[in-house]
Amino acid sequence: MLKSRNKKILCVYTLDSILCPKDKPIRYLTDIPLGISYIMAAIKHAGYELELFVFSQKNDIKKDINKLFSENNFDIVLFTSVSSQYFFVRKIAQYIKEVKPEIKNVIGGVHATLNFKDVLKEDCFDVVCVGDGEHATVDYIKHIRENKQINSIDNLYIKENGNILNPNKIYFTEDLDSLYPPLRDIWNKWISFPKSYYSAYKILVTRGCYNNCSYCSNHALSRISSTTKYVRYRNVDKIVEEINSVNYHKIDLVCESLTLNKQFFNDLTTALKKNNENRATKILYYAESNVYHSILNEDFFRRIDEANIRVLGIGLESGSYKIRRKVLLRPNYSNKDLYNFCQMAKKFNIAVHTYVLIGIPYETQNDYLKTINILRKCQPNFIFVYIYMPYPGTNLYKRLVEDKIIKGYNYFSHSEERTKALVSYKNMSKLRIQLNYIFFFIRVYWKHKPLIELFTLTAGRFLYCYNRFIPSFSYNFLEKKLSQNLDKLNQNENL
Ligand code: B12
Ligand code: SF4
């Protein structure tokens, strides 16, 4: 039964995950995606009604779509997608087109941006957004609702009567503070563990990165507009205003690195320190940083400490200098820089979380052991270890296709992403990569962390790899137990 006759926009988010119940598939506040939340804010402020639906693998797509469309009068559906979500998103879009061909399906996000030509070939998508989508989406909705003829909309490729209308230009929004703050409350009912240790609100502080790492999407994204700046900084007063408005004690500052610009770093840390001064409960921050030699000084860590940034995420990726510089094209830093960084952070009681990739193309077991060795020396508080996934549109992906190591873009799902070895290399088989992944924490933290924690972390890696063979009910039980265990262990760290 149609409850509302008003036309509405449906925003679809997908999580190809079996970790949470289907009615609450998002685990933590931290997992709220910012891109589509910025777009929803723009739509709401333009006066249009919208609805959000989050699909996980546990949903019956047909049943849920039928129900949603019988209760609402949607005319436009918006999809956001990174590469691992794309096939799932396409499945939903295809079903919508099948039952409601008049609906306009619009897709944006990193995957659509970097692969727009392929995405445009799909019958199920009417519009593909390349780059930032806030203004483009509102503009498009306006044209549809007012029944106006569309000649061209910046950042959008639009299918119209069998033709494709190209955008006049592709741009990045340079003044990030001209955008409405992302919609957050709309996500509340979809989150399983909002109060967990891991929950923090994400606040965007910059967009873009200057570096050209071959496995990351940033170098490819930076090329899509030649007329506007890719690396953008927000005004620090506006950042603080948004932090205060979300009224939460843990904030994850979203930026590729706090050290992209020294003046910005100084201004931001000064403002965060000041904002905490008269608070009974100080806001605690997470942020990302680089490890460069040039920032390794007391002043940097003192500022981080005073701003109450208690957790710094840093990318090591590989302990092999050769792999870092020749394959990943990482910026220049040495293993000694990482060691000094961790030592200095310890002195200031700042936790270090390190990003590590394994199963990197052209990597040998010896390279992998170099990663283990440096991490054993540094003992970061936590390590996000992932198996390398080739993302289409990136330089490393292209190199793998040229070297005939992969044929092209194969299906991989989010639950397999970066946890399941999907490519065998000359120097490293899939099985070897998988075992390196499962036993990673034991190798790094043996005799440094309690056995119960090592068991939990190792069992977690095993579950990520082989979840498809474990019945869903026992998986949920095990996953919940492991999450609770980790939560408890982390709370003891008192961060
Ligand atoms: C913060 C972040 C996260 C956060 C939030 C995720 C999110 N979906 O926003 C968390 C930690 C949860 C996360 C998780 C993951 N992430 Co992440 N993440 C980022 C990061 C660093 C910034 C993203 C961000 O907030 N940007 C700012 C917002 C405003 O921009 P945006 O998201 O691009 O959205 C704009 C446009 O793309 C466009 N747009 C987006 N959606 C739509 C939809 C429509 C209809 C339209 C019209 C336009 C549009 O308009 C938006 C506003 O301007 C990027 C790096 C990067 N440069 O993008 C990686 C990045 C997006 N992540 C990446 C990956 C791989 C992941 C994971 C798959 C990792 C994993 N295995 O768990 C998951 C996927 C989760 C998911 N389902 O999306 C990759 C994606 C690469 C690829 N080609 O697929 C990136 C690009 C980093 C990289 N390695 O290159 N991530
Ligand atoms: S430094 Fe990080 S964000 Fe920047 S290009 Fe490299 S991997 Fe991407």
Fold of 7-165: Rossmann fold (3.40.50)
Q: Is 313 in the pocket of ligand 2 (CB under 6 A)?
A: no
- Delimit the domains of the chain by residue range: 7-165, 200-490
- CA 408 / ligand 2 centre spacing (Å): 23
- CA 217 / ligand 1 centre spacing (Å): 10
Q: Would you state the structure tokens that stand for residue 468, as one six-digit string? A: 């498809």
Q: What is the pLDDT of residue 244?
A: 97
Q: What is the pLDDT of residue 475?
A: 57
Ligand 1 nearest atom to the CA of residue 78, by list position: 45
Q: Is 34 in the pocket of ligand 1 (CB under 6 A)?
A: yes
- Computed over every residue of the chain, the mean pLDDT equals 91
Ligand 1 nearest atom to the CA of residue 202, by list position: 1
Q: What is the pLDDT of residue 27?
A: 85
Q: Whose CA is nearest to atom 53 of ligand 1?
A: 132
Q: What is the pLDDT of residue 486?
A: 59
- CA 474 / ligand 1 centre spacing (Å): 31
Q: Is 283 in the pocket of ligand 1 (CB under 6 A)?
A: no
- Read off the pLDDT of residues 287-323 as tens digits, 9 standing for 90 and up: 999 888 777 889 999 999 999 999 999 999 999 999 9
- CA 82 / ligand 1 centre spacing (Å): 6
Q: Is 308 in the pocket of ligand 1 (CB under 6 A)?
A: no
- CA 315 / ligand 2 centre spacing (Å): 8
- CA 141 / ligand 2 centre spacing (Å): 34
Q: Is 209 in the pocket of ligand 2 (CB under 6 A)?
A: yes
Q: Is 255 in the pocket of ligand 2 (CB under 6 A)?
A: no
pTM of the model: 0.94
Q: Whose CA is nearest to atom 7 of ligand 1?
A: 33
Residue ranges in the chain whose pLDDT is less than 70: 1-4, 16-20, 410-415, 467-495
Radius of gyration of the chain (CA): 23
In words, the CATH class of domain 200-490 is alpha beta
Q: What is the pLDDT of residue 294?
A: 77
Q: What is the pLDDT of residue 3?
A: 47
- CA 201 / ligand 1 centre spacing (Å): 15
Torsions phi, psi of 311, nearest 5?
Answer: -130, 125
Q: Is 15 in the pocket of ligand 1 (CB under 6 A)?
A: yes
Q: Whose CA is nearest to atom 1 of ligand 1?
A: 254
Left (φ > 0), alpha (ψ -120 to 50) or beta: where does 349 sit?
left
Contact 415, 18 (CB under 8 A): yes
Ligand sitting nearest the alpha carbon of 333 = 2
Q: Is 211 in the pocket of ligand 2 (CB under 6 A)?
A: yes
Ligand sitting nearest the alpha carbon of 170 = 1
Q: What is the pLDDT of residue 396?
A: 96
